């Protein structure tokens, strides 16, 4: 069964397979929003997401965040001042999507393929949910967009096909083999040599701190062409240069295999969440979601960067750090949050731990000092 069929079975929605989540986010932003509209979004998300929003010709309106979960604080936003909402569901903790009723909500469920709210999968509450197969499933790449109406899916499919680049089979073999090697390295505690190798092979994007170089002069030029995705390729392709390359049956087979394996990991993931939820550093919302197979468990610690280095020495790699928030990263192209303190605090202090490796991380994380209280 293909990944889109498997996801249709899980969500009960119409699903379309994609080479990445980020291509699906762009398709959804173009389909449900018009250029010039204002999009409410979190400033704590992957680098490429901000550039997708700009590529779609939208104005990123940066939301205040809740200290409990690092998602949009719905009580602190003026919904009347925006046209649509993009949720993040950071590390799998659910955004309060019901609070955005009345606006089109596009759910980025890259981190939340396994999260349910009242038994219903995240990604089925908004007009579209976009999953990433490189996160929980660990398939190296791949995405699926899930929508309520088949007519929307047909339009999205035509747009997808217009944006897809031709297949590159050797690149695909390389991507599947690299993904398999990563899983083996993790199992064998070879994280440090694997990280060194992937850095020396140029598999990881060069970063200034945790973000790719913003290049504001180039953004200004690219903005002259919006809405247009290729003009933003050099940013959007971060860590996934083939994000809009057509895939063959090889990727389809690998993605489906990894998706089917998720149910077998579920209990282990929840056990890891429960273990980490006991730590005094766990973000408050983790305690309310101990029954959920989260993507990562966010801890809020005093010296995050030292903890990342220590974890690496113990065979635990840390990723998915989004610092600084978008309105500090590219202030000229965003509408700044009226209350940026919580986002800065999350960006600086969050330490996301893979619950599948909770026991391996525990000797390091159990003694970490908590982050200082957030100051407004």
Ligand X SMILES: Cc1ncc(COP(=O)(O)O)c(C=O)c1O
Residues that bind ligand X (CB under 6 A): 20-22, 45-46, 49, 88, 108, 110-111, 132, 134, 143, 240, 243, 320
Q: How far is the CB of 321 from ligand X (least distance, A)?
A: 10
Nearest to 186 by CA among 309, 353, 356: 356
Q: How far is the CB of 130 from ligand X (least distance, A)?
A: 8
Q: Residue 40 is inside which H or E element, if any?
A: strand 38-41
Nearer to ligand X, 100 or 322 (CB): 322
Nearer to ligand X, 50 or 316 (CB): 50
Nearest to 251 by CA among 170, 145, 176: 176
Q: How far is the CB of 27 from ligand X (least distance, A)?
A: 12
* CA dist., res. 183 & res. 245, Å (int): 23
Any residues with CB less than 8 A from the CB of 308 and at least 6 apart, and which? Answer: 318, 321, 351
- H-assigned helices in 226-283: 233-236, 249-260, 262-277
Nearer to ligand X, 108 or 172 (CB): 108
Residue 158, burial from CB neighbour count under 10 angstroms (0-12, 13-18, 19+): exposed
Query: What backbone phi and psi angles, to 5 degrees, belong to 284?
Result: -55, -40
Q: How many helices (H) and strands (E) does the chain have?
A: 15, 11
Q: How far is the CB of 21 from ligand X (least distance, A)?
A: 3
Nearer to ligand X, 259 or 275 (CB): 259
Nearer to ligand X, 321 or 356 (CB): 321
Q: How far is the CB of 131 from ligand X (least distance, A)?
A: 8
Nearer to ligand X, 117 or 275 (CB): 117
Q: How far is the CB of 65 from ligand X (least distance, A)?
A: 14
């Amino acid at each position: 069964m293909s990944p889109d069929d498997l996801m249709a079975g899980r969500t009960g929605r119409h699903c379309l397979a994609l080479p990445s989540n980020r291509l699906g986010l762009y398709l959804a932003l173009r389909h449900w929003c018009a250029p010039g509209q204002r999009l409410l979004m979190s400033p704590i998300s992957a680098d490429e997401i901000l550039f997708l929003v700009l590529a779609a010709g939208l104005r990123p309106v940066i939301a205040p965040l809740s200290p409990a979960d690092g998602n949009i604080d719905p009580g602190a936003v003026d919904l009347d001042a925006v046209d649509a909402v993009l949720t993040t569901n950071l590390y799998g903790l659910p955004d309060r999507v019901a609070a955005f009723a009345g606006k089109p909500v596009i759910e980025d469920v890259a981190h939340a393929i396994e999260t349910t709210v009242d038994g219903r999968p995240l990604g089925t509450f908004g007009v579209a949910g976009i999953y990433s197969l490189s996160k929980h499933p660990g398939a190296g790449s791949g995405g699926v967009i899930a929508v309520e109406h088949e007519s929307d899916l047909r339009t999205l499919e035509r747009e997808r096909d217009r944006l897809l680049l031709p297949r590159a089979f050797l690149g695909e073999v390389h991507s599947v083999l690299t993904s398999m090697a990563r899983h083996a390295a993790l199992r064998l505690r070879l994280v440090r040599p694997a990280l060194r190798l992937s850095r020396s092979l140029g598999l990881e994007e060069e970063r200034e701190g945790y973000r790719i170089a913003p290049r504001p002069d180039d953004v200004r030029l690219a903005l002259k062409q919006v809405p247009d995705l290729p003009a933003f390729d050099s940013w959007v392709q971060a860590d996934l240069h083939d994000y809009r390359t057509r895939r063959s049956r090889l990727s389809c087979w690998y993605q489906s295999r990894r998706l089917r394996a998720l149910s077998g990991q579920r209990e282990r993931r929840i056990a890891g969440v429960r273990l980490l939820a006991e730590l005094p550093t766990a973000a408050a919302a983790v305690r309310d979601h101990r029954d959920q197979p989260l993507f990562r468990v966010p801890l809020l610690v005093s010296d995050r960067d030292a903890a990342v280095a220590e974890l690496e020495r113990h065979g635990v790699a840390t990723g998915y750090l989004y610092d600084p928030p978008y309105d500090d990263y590219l202030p000229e192209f965003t509408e700044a949050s009226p209350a940026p303190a919580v986002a800065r605090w999350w960006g600086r202090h969050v330490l996301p731990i893979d619950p599948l490796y909770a026991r391996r991380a525990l000797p390091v994380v159990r003694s970490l000092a908590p982050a200082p209280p957030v100051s407004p």
